[in-house]
Structure 1
Amino acid sequence: MSRTANGQLIISLLEGFAPKKMAMEGDPIGLQVGSLNKPVKKVMIALDVLENVVDEAIHGEVDLIIAHHPLLYRPLKRIDTSTSKGRVIEKLIKHDITVYAAHTNLDVTALGVNNWLADQLQLMDTEVLSTTYEDKLVKLSVFVPITHEEKVRQAIGNAGAGHIGNYSHCTFTSSGMGTFTPLEGTSPFIGKQGQLEQTEEVKIESIMPESIRKSVISAMKKAHPYEEVAYDLYPLLNKGNELGIGKIGKLAKEMDLQEFVDHVKKAFGISRLRVIKGHKDSIKKVAVVGGDGNKYIYTSLHKGADALVTGDIYYHNAHDAQEEGLTIVDAGHHIEGIMKRELKKVLEDELQSRNYDTVVIESELITDPFTYM
C-alpha cells in the first residue's frame, strides 16, 4: 500500500546519501525556508532557486524544492519584497513551499556530483582529486535464522555493505544456536510466548562506510524476519574511503585538444566554452571539478592531469595554468545541472522501495545566467 512521505523522511533519505557532515566548513546547507514537518506529495530538484524556478514550483504544485545551490548563501539583513530575492521568499512562504539545500555534501559524497560529472565524461579508474573527508569503516554482525540467510545477505550487499576493493557483497558467515524467550506482548516469528526457544542461526559479518550505516541497517531489518533483530556494530581502524572535491581519471583513448573539446561539449550538451590551452598536444588524464575550480588548478597538476574540466576560471589563474602547461576547459558552473537528473533517480528509488507515492520531478528551467552572442 502506497503512502505520502513527509519532509523529514525525504531529507533523511537525502542525508543518508549525502550526509551533512561531509559539507565544507561554512557551507550553508540544510533547511533554508519553510518546514519539513508536513506531507510532501511532490518534490522538485533544482540547481538554483531563482524567481522563475519558484514560479515553476508553484505552477507544478510542488511542496519541497531540493536545490544544489543555497538560496540563502549570505546572511540577509532584510526581506524587501520589492527585490527578486524578497519576492522569492515571499512566494515560497505564501505557497507553503519548503527549500532545502544540499551543496558541498552532494559534491563530496562518493556517488555525488563530481562522480556524475566524471561518468558523463566517461573517465575510467577515477579517484578523488582533493580529499576533504575520510568515511570511517564499521563492521556489522547480524544474527539470522538459517531460513533467511541469503535474503539478509543480499539485502545488506545491495545496500552497499561488503565493498572491498573491486569486490562487492563480501561477507563472512558462522553458525550457532540462538536462544530467546518471547515475553508478553510479542509476536515471535519463531517460538511461543513464555517458552525458551532454541533455533539454528548464522552470524553474517560485513564491513561498510559509516556514511551508509543507516541505509544498510534499514535494508537489513526489512529483510530480517524477527521483530527484534540482534546485531552489533563495531568501529574499525582500517583506513576508510577517501572522499572530497573533484575526480581525476583517464579517457579510454588519447585525444587531441579539438577532439577533447568536442567530447566535453557533447557530454554536457553545450555549444560553446572557454579553453586555456596547455603545453601537451594530447589529453589522456583528466580532472573534473563541478562549479568553481580555481582552487584545484595546482592539485590537478600535482596529480598529473593533462586537462581540468571545471567552471568560473579567473583571468590571472588562467595565465598561471597556461604557464604551468595545464589545459583547462571552462565548461561553466552550470554543468552541475546534471544533479537534477541523477538526484531524482536516487530519491525515486529510495521512496519507491519503501512504497511511498511522493512524486520527484526535475526543474525544467535552465538557470545559466550567461548568454553567448
Structure 2
Amino acid sequence: MPKWISGERLIQRLEEWAPKKLAYDNDKIGLLVGSLHKQLKRVMVTLDILENVADEAARQNIDLIIAHHPLIFHPLKNVRSDEGQGKIVTKCIKHDIAVYAVHTNLDIADGGVNDMLAEQLGLDQAEILQPTYQEPIYQLSVYVPESHADLIRKVIGEAGAGKIGNYDYCSFSTSGEGAFLPRSGADPYAGRTGRLEQTRELRIEALVPEHLLRTVIAKMVKAHPYEEVAYQAVPVKDAGKTYGLGRIGVLPEPLQFNEYCRIVKETLGLDGLRAIGPEKKPVRTVAVSGGDGNSLIPYAKQRGADVLITGDIYYHTAHDALLCGLNVIDAGHHIEAVMKPGVQKFLKQIIAQEGCDTEVVISESVTNPFRFY
C-alpha cells in the first residue's frame, strides 16, 4: 500500500531548510489557504500562483501547492469567486488544495534561490552579498545511561546536532553518577518505586542551531530510555551561522560585459534582458540576487562586484549604478523560477527519507507576465 507524507511533516522538513525566521519582516510566508492536516498524495511546486496554476493543480488532483511568491501579499478587502485573487482562493478551497509560500526565507537559506542562481551561472567562491541574520546556537546537554550513550549520540547527530565546520556528529561526554527517587505511578528504566537509586550516567553535550533545536530534542527524547529525560539547552554567547541576501562570486575567467550578457541570456533561458553600463567593461566578479535587487547595488559595489544580476531595476536606480561604476543586468524577476526544480529535488529527497510515495510535480503554467517584441 502507498504511504503518503502528512502536510505537517512535509512543511516541518521544508522549514528546517528555509526557517521562517530568515524571512523579511511582513513577508507573507507560510500557509495561506487550506489546511496541512491531511495526507499528501501529490504536491506541486510553482514560482507564482495565478488562476492558470490553480486550474492546473485542480486537473492534476494536487493536495498542496508550494509557491515562492505569496498568493496573498496585501490584505484582501473581499474574497469574490468571480474576480481577482478571490477567484484563485475560491478554486483552491473548492478543490481542497492547500497553498504554502516560502519566499524571502528561501532566498536567504543555504542552497536556496540565490545559491541556485549562483550555481546555474557558474560562479566560483560564492558567498553572501548582504548579511541579514545570525542564527542563535545552543549547547544541548542530556543525561543518559552509559548503555544508551552511543545511540543518543547517533540520533542527535543524524538530526543535525554537533555540526562544526566540515565536521559532523561532534559531541563531548563526561561521566558521573545520577540519583533519583521514583514516586508512586512512575515506571523507571532502572531501580524500584519508592527507593532512592544511583546509577552511572554520561552527560552528552552538542551544539545545535536554533532552527533544528526542537527536532533534535524531539528525536532525542523519543530514543532515550528514561521515562523523564533530563536535558537543558543553553544559548551560546557567540552567534551561529550567518545568512543573507544575494551571492557574490567570480567567473572562471574575465569576459567583456556585452559577451557576458549574451551568456547570461542563454544560460537563464531568457527572451531578453536589460543591460546597464559600458559594453566593453571587463567582468570577473559577479553579484546575483533573484527578484528586486535595487537595494543591493551599494552592497555589490562595496564588495567589488563588476556586475549585479537581478530583476526589476528602477530607472533612477540604473542611473545610480552608472554613477558608481557598477554594471547591472536586469534579467527579470522571473529568473527566480530556478527554484522550481530546486525545491522539487529537495522535497523528493525528504519524502524518500520519510519512506513515503508522495509525488512532487512542477507547474508547467506560464506565469511570467512579460513578453519581448
Same fold judged by TM-score > 0.5?
yes
Partner of 2:164: 164
Aligned letter for 2:156? Answer: I
Matches within 5 A, 1:252-263: 252-263=252-263
- For 1:183 and 1:358, the matched residues in 2 are separated by 46
Deviations 1:298-354 (A, max 9, x none): 111112211111111122222221222112122221121122222223333334333
- For 2:274 and 2:204, the matched residues in 1 are separated by 53
Is the CA contact (8 Å cut-off) linking 1:256 and 1:283 kept in structure 2? yes
SS state at 1:89 partner:
helix
- For 2:266 and 2:226, the matched residues in 1 are separated by 51
Partner of 2:43: 43
- For 1:216 and 1:71, the matched residues in 2 are separated by 32
SS state at 2:10 partner:
helix
SS state at 2:39 partner:
coil
Deviations 1:171-228 (A, max 9, x none): 3233344566777888877778888776654433221321222233345456656565
SS state at 1:295 partner:
helix
Residue 62 of structure 1: CA displacement? 0.7
- For 2:197 and 2:349, the matched residues in 1 are separated by 38
Matches within 5 A, 1:349-364: 349-364=349-364
Partner of 2:64: 64
Is the CA contact (8 Å cut-off) linking 2:65 and 2:100 kept in structure 1? yes
1:6–1:174 Cα change, 3 Å: same
Partner of 2:295: 295
Partner of 1:128: 128
Partner of 1:324: 324
Residue 292 of structure 1: CA displacement? 0.8
TM norm structure 1: 0.86
- For 2:263 and 2:148, the matched residues in 1 are separated by 48
Segments of structure 2 that go 5 or more residues without pairing to the other structure are: none
Is the CA contact (8 Å cut-off) linking 1:45 and 1:363 kept in structure 2? yes
- For 1:40 and 1:242, the matched residues in 2 are separated by 33
- For 1:68 and 1:97, the matched residues in 2 are separated by 16
Partner of 2:117: 117
Residue 359 of structure 1: CA displacement? 2.9
Deviations 1:57-87 (A, max 9, x none): 1111111111111111222223343325332
Deviations 1:11-60 (A, max 9, x none): 33333332223221221222222223333322212111111111111111
Partner of 1:86: 86
Matched pairs, number: 373
- For 2:340 and 2:118, the matched residues in 1 are separated by 16
Deviations 1:133-166 (A, max 9, x none): 2211111223445555455434434443333345
- For 2:186 and 2:263, the matched residues in 1 are separated by 61
Aligned letter for 2:260? Answer: F
- For 1:25 and 1:36, the matched residues in 2 are separated by 24
- For 1:220 and 1:349, the matched residues in 2 are separated by 23
Is the CA contact (8 Å cut-off) linking 2:258 and 2:279 kept in structure 1? no
- For 2:70 and 2:205, the matched residues in 1 are separated by 40
SS state at 1:65 partner:
strand
- For 1:263 and 1:152, the matched residues in 2 are separated by 50
- For 1:266 and 1:205, the matched residues in 2 are separated by 50
Q: Which moved more, 1:223-232 or 1:14-23?
A: 223-232
- For 1:179 and 1:278, the matched residues in 2 are separated by 75
1:256–1:141 Cα change, 3 Å: farther
1:117–1:190 Cα change, 3 Å: farther
The percentage of counterpart residues that share the same residue type is 48
Is the CA contact (8 Å cut-off) linking 1:2 and 1:355 kept in structure 2? no
Residue 278 of structure 1: CA displacement? 4.8
Q: Which moved more, 1:352-361 or 1:185-194?
A: 185-194
SS state at 1:371 partner:
coil
1:212–1:37 Cα change, 3 Å: same
- For 1:150 and 1:271, the matched residues in 2 are separated by 56
1:246–1:233 Cα change, 3 Å: same
1:112–1:193 Cα change, 3 Å: farther
Q: Which moved more, 1:196-205 or 1:49-58?
A: 196-205
SS state at 2:217 partner:
helix
Matches within 5 A, 1:150-299: 150-178=150-178, 201-221=201-221, 229-278=229-278, 281-299=281-299
Q: Which moved more, 1:167-176 or 1:189-198?
A: 189-198
Partner of 2:15: 15
Is the CA contact (8 Å cut-off) linking 2:257 and 2:278 kept in structure 1? no
Is the CA contact (8 Å cut-off) linking 1:54 and 1:88 kept in structure 2? yes
Q: Which moved more, 1:214-223 or 1:60-69?
A: 214-223
